[in-house]
Structure 1
Amino acid sequence: MRVRQPLTYYAVLWALFLIPLVSYKTYIGPLPLSAEVVMIPLITLAALIDYRQRRIQLNDFPLKPIALAFAAFFIIAIVSLVKAVSLAPAIMELARYLSYVVLFFIVVKVQFTREQYVRFAQSFGLSALFVGLYGVIQYIFGISLNTAGLYALKEAKGRVDSTLVNPNYYASFLNLVIPALLLFAVVYWRDKKAQLLMFAVYSIYVINLVLTYTRAAWVAMLGGLALVILLMPKTFIKHAIRPHMLISFVVLLTIVYFMPDVQSRTYSAVYAMEKIISRHMPGGLADHFAGDNGDEGGGFLDGDEADEETTEDEATTNRAVVSRVTLWKTGWAMMKENPVIGVGIGNYLVRYKEYVTKYPELYIGHDQYSVHNSYLKVGAETGFLGLIAFVAIYVVYYVYLLRLYFASSDRLGKLIIVALIAGSATFMVQNLSNNLIFIPQLNTIFWLVSGLAMAFVHQTSARPSTTQA
């Protein structure tokens, strides 16, 4: 029986559905086994078979710039192996990196039809909907809620992580998708019922993001919204101020405002940012939290009981800030002492105990701990050259997006690129406080969705007449 569609199409379709939804992971000896570990080789094998049998064609997407950036970092990472104390994590890190590269090359170069891209969007959308609904159910019924890192939350049951294992990872996934949901709800759909239905899905995601209680993600979501408005100011505002949309926004904001610990966590988020960015600048919210220079009155909350609660919240936030900054200092110390090729790709955790022993002020009670910053991790493991090459990958990535943004005359194409610019920006920003780039499930979604979106917009903008209706 002849297969009607290329194997690559089916493999990508299932990957888009399963990878966000399936968090199960086990090990066969030292080798990990998870949805992305299974699906990336299957996509690769399917593409090789289809290409050999001429069941797929390649588009003319220009790969050379990003291929050179990928290759530059890979070469530097290989060279860094001479400093690696342990080769096992180094090899695993390189294997994961290559798998992302191969996946991106396949999905960005294979020429799918418009109908197939629609099916991809439906598959990913259905999976994302299940993930979001499960997140809400998880909180309501208290199913395996994460209780780590609550930092003085008094009302919340715990933190939601849905199928993404960790609340911080889940928050990043949500932020990657939220701009697209918002744009489809406000800009794309013309029918009022369709708009409200899509806005309901968007609201589920916003509520999930709140329930992760990841402060950096809340700030990143606002930044993503600002980017959406900046890139589509007239179009977005024109549609957003329609009565039914304004009412929808007011209802959502009201719900969010009265959710458990939202107000205190929001104040804490701004306070933490100010502590990190401008802790020595007077007159900010940090001063208002504790009162002006410790004087009576003038604090953010008045009254003895409120002052006691605020002092306690400030203390816990300070501890969180100090802990995170200490981790960053550890990464910086490792990078500064190994500036050329680092300590070896994948070897940050292997060398962590050595550095906190050497510098006791960096010890926070663990023999191994993540640096909580993807860029510092790369710099520590591959040196300044590796960090420059690594950042260059994402610079080229954004050059592609900006070119597609200005080249696309199709409303849907423009919307997709704006959503991708905003969503991926939140991903980059959140990597300043987490190692999200090194989370296989999350990073696979990033490159899979990015490649498909870029290829679709490239094909529709370059040859709009050849795509199927």
Structure 2
Amino acid sequence: MRLQNNLTYYAVILSLFFVPLVAYKTYIGPLPLSIEVVTIPLLTVAAVSDYLRKRITLNDLNMKPMLAAFLLFFVIGAISLVKAVSLAPGMMELARYLSYVVLFTIVVKVKFTREQYLNFAKVFGASVAIVGIYGVVQYIFGISLNTAGLYALKEAKGRVDSTLINPNYYASFLNLVIPTLVLLAVVYFKDKKAQLLMFAFYGIYVVNLILTYTRAAWVTMACGFILMVMLIPKDFIKNALRPHILLSFVALMTIVYFMPDVQSRTSSAIYAMEKLVVSNLPFHVASGDNSQEEDQGGLFEDEQDEDEEENAQDAATTNRAVVSRVTLWKTGWVMLKENPVLGVGMGNYLVRYKEYVTKYPELYIGHDQYSVHNSYLKVGAETGFIGLAAFLLVYIVYYLYIIRLYFAAQNRLSKVLAIGLIVGSLTFMVQNLSNNLIFIPQLNTVFWLVSGLVIAFLHQNQEQSISMR
């Protein structure tokens, strides 16, 4: 029996649906086994088979700049292994990186029909809906809520991570998708029922983002919303002022405002941003003297008002969190400064972490191994300044592709998808300043899979528009 579509199409469908949903991971000996370890090779085999059997064709999108950027960082990462204390983590990281390159190249170059792209959107939308609904159910019934960071929350049961393992990872996934959801609801769909349905999904995702209690993600979502409105002001503002959309926004904001710990956590987020940005903390080894924070807490010792005492406690808690995070960043910066050319070797940041916190006791925060919580510092520490520059080049080229397609977009759907991808991708990159999200396989697979499909679709729309002139 001959399949109606090619194998590549079905492999993409499986990836779009299952990668966001399946967080299970185990090991077979030293090798990891997770959903992306299954789906990416499956997609690769399917694409090669279809290409050899002439069941797929490739589009004419010029991928040479992107592939050159990918190759440059891969070569530098491979060379950095000469400095590695342990080769195994470096080899695993290079293998994962290569798998993302293969995944992106396949989905961006294979030519699918408009109907197939529509089916991709429906399948990914179904997966996104399940993830979001489960996140709300998880919080309501207290199912495996994450308790990390609860010391700063007074009312919340816990932090939602849905199917993404960690609240921070989940928050990044949500921010990646949210811009497109709200644009589809407010700008693209014209039917009132379709708008309200899409806005409901947008609302569910905003609620989920709040329930992750990831402060950086809240700030990023707000900034992303502003950027989104700036990129498509006329259509967005005009449609947003329609009564049912306006009421939907008001209802959503009211719900969010009265959710547990939102007001105190928002104040904490603003305070944390002030500490990080306004204070302009330098990247050098700290003296470890936190007397300023302690003195700030002491200012409230004689106050009788309970609200004042709570504010002091919240400030002290935020101070400790900020100091801890900055200390982690300083560790990565010190590692980079002492190994500026090739770094400590791809994948070897954690291997060398104990050595550095022992060498610089002021960097020790109570763990023998701890993430740097910054993807760019991790890359720099492991591959040096040249590796960091090559890594950033990959994303610069990536954004140049999207921006070019944005300006070439000839219809409303292309504009919406281009803006959604620009803003969603930017929130992803910004959140990597405070987390190692680029190194989370499940999340990064979604990023490159969805990005590749959207870029290919935008290119196809552009080509069709040119041919119709």
What TM-score do the two structures reach when normalised by structure 2?
A: 0.95
Secondary structure at the counterpart of residue 164 of structure 1: coil
Q: Could you tell me which amino acid in structure 1 is paired with residue 212 of structure 2?
A: T
Counterpart position of 1:354: 355
- In the aligned structure 1, how far is the partner of 2:56 from the partner of 2:326? 49
| Alpha carbons of structure 1 residues 135 and 90: separation in structure 2 relative to 1, 3 Å | same
Secondary structure at the counterpart of residue 27 of structure 2: strand
**Deviation at residue 294 of structure 1 after TM alignment:** 9.1
**Deviation at residue 411 of structure 1 after TM alignment:** 1.1
Secondary structure at the counterpart of residue 20 of structure 1: coil
**Deviation at residue 62 of structure 1 after TM alignment:** 1.1
User: What do the CA deviations read for 1:120-175 (whole angstroms, capped 9, x no partner)?
Assistant: 00110000100000000000000000000234210000000000000000000000
**Where does 1:262-273 land on structure 2 (aligned, <5 Å)?**
262-273=262-273
**Deviation at residue 61 of structure 1 after TM alignment:** 0.9
Counterpart position of 1:123: 123
Counterpart position of 2:418: 417
Counterpart position of 2:84: 84
Q: Could you tell me which amino acid in structure 2 is paired with residue 219 of structure 1?
A: V
Mapped contact 2:220–2:431 kept (Cα < 8 A): yes
1:216 has 2:216 as partner: yes
- In the aligned structure 2, how far is the partner of 1:280 from the partner of 1:422? 26
Give the length in aligned residue pairs. Answer: 455
- In the aligned structure 2, how far is the partner of 1:122 from the partner of 1:223? 28
1:451 has 2:452 as partner: yes
Counterpart position of 1:146: 146
1:27 has 2:19 as partner: no
- In the aligned structure 2, how far is the partner of 1:292 from the partner of 1:373? 28
- In the aligned structure 2, how far is the partner of 1:61 from the partner of 1:146? 43
Counterpart position of 1:286: none
Q: Could you tell me which amino acid in structure 2 is paired with residue 202 of structure 1?
A: Y
- In the aligned structure 1, how far is the partner of 2:417 from the partner of 2:239? 17
Counterpart position of 1:373: 374
Q: Could you tell me which amino acid in structure 2 is paired with residue 425 of structure 1?
A: L
**Deviation at residue 293 of structure 1 after TM alignment:** 12
- In the aligned structure 1, how far is the partner of 2:402 from the partner of 2:90? 31
Q: Could you tell me which amino acid in structure 1 is paired with residue 352 of structure 2?
A: R
Q: Could you tell me which amino acid in structure 2 is paired with residue 323 of structure 1?
A: S
Mapped contact 2:43–2:103 kept (Cα < 8 A): yes
**Deviation at residue 280 of structure 1 after TM alignment:** 7.2
Mapped contact 2:294–2:316 kept (Cα < 8 A): no
**Deviation at residue 291 of structure 1 after TM alignment:** 13
Q: Could you tell me which amino acid in structure 2 is paired with residue 172 of structure 1?
A: S
Secondary structure at the counterpart of residue 150 of structure 2: coil
| Alpha carbons of structure 1 residues 416 and 186: separation in structure 2 relative to 1, 3 Å | same
- In the aligned structure 2, how far is the partner of 1:124 from the partner of 1:84? 39
| Alpha carbons of structure 1 residues 218 and 303: separation in structure 2 relative to 1, 3 Å | farther
Secondary structure at the counterpart of residue 325 of structure 2: helix
- In the aligned structure 1, how far is the partner of 2:460 from the partner of 2:337? 44
Secondary structure at the counterpart of residue 95 of structure 2: helix
- In the aligned structure 1, how far is the partner of 2:71 from the partner of 2:194? 44
Mapped contact 1:26–1:34 kept (Cα < 8 A): yes
Q: Could you tell me which amino acid in structure 2 is paired with residue 369 of structure 1?
A: Y
Counterpart position of 1:396: 397
Mapped contact 1:410–1:461 kept (Cα < 8 A): no
Q: Could you tell me which amino acid in structure 1 is paired with residue 320 of structure 2?
A: R
Counterpart position of 2:44: 44
Mapped contact 1:150–1:213 kept (Cα < 8 A): no
User: What do the CA deviations read for 1:271-330 (whole angstroms, capped 9, x no partner)?
Assistant: 00100111379xxxxxxx99999989xxxxx97111110111111111100000000000
- In the aligned structure 1, how far is the partner of 2:192 from the partner of 2:299? 54
- In the aligned structure 1, how far is the partner of 2:120 from the partner of 2:113? 11
Counterpart position of 1:314: 315
Counterpart position of 1:176: 176
Secondary structure at the counterpart of residue 19 of structure 2: helix
- In the aligned structure 1, how far is the partner of 2:356 from the partner of 2:72? 28
Secondary structure at the counterpart of residue 365 of structure 1: coil
What TM-score do the two structures reach when normalised by structure 1?
A: 0.95
Q: Could you tell me which amino acid in structure 1 is paired with residue 366 of structure 2?
A: G
**Where does 1:222-371 land on structure 2 (aligned, <5 Å)?**
222-279=222-279, 304-371=305-372
Counterpart position of 2:190: 190
Q: Could you tell me which amino acid in structure 2 is paired with residue 370 of structure 1?
A: S
Where do 5+ consecutive residues of structure 1 fail to align? Answer: 282-288, 297-301
**Deviation at residue 464 of structure 1 after TM alignment:** 3.9
Counterpart position of 1:132: 132
Counterpart position of 2:287: none
| Alpha carbons of structure 1 residues 17 and 460: separation in structure 2 relative to 1, 3 Å | same
- In the aligned structure 2, how far is the partner of 1:435 from the partner of 1:61? 31
- In the aligned structure 1, how far is the partner of 2:67 from the partner of 2:264? 46
Secondary structure at the counterpart of residue 314 of structure 1: helix
| Alpha carbons of structure 1 residues 291 and 256: separation in structure 2 relative to 1, 3 Å | farther
Moved more, 220-229 or 438-447: 220-229
Q: Could you tell me which amino acid in structure 1 is paired with residue 131 of structure 2?
A: V
- In the aligned structure 2, how far is the partner of 1:348 from the partner of 1:326? 15
Mapped contact 1:66–1:396 kept (Cα < 8 A): yes
- In the aligned structure 1, how far is the partner of 2:296 from the partner of 2:101? 52
Secondary structure at the counterpart of residue 2 of structure 1: coil
- In the aligned structure 1, how far is the partner of 2:379 from the partner of 2:166? 21
| Alpha carbons of structure 1 residues 254 and 425: separation in structure 2 relative to 1, 3 Å | same
- In the aligned structure 2, how far is the partner of 1:63 from the partner of 1:319? 46
**Deviation at residue 466 of structure 1 after TM alignment:** 7.8
- In the aligned structure 2, how far is the partner of 1:441 from the partner of 1:241? 38
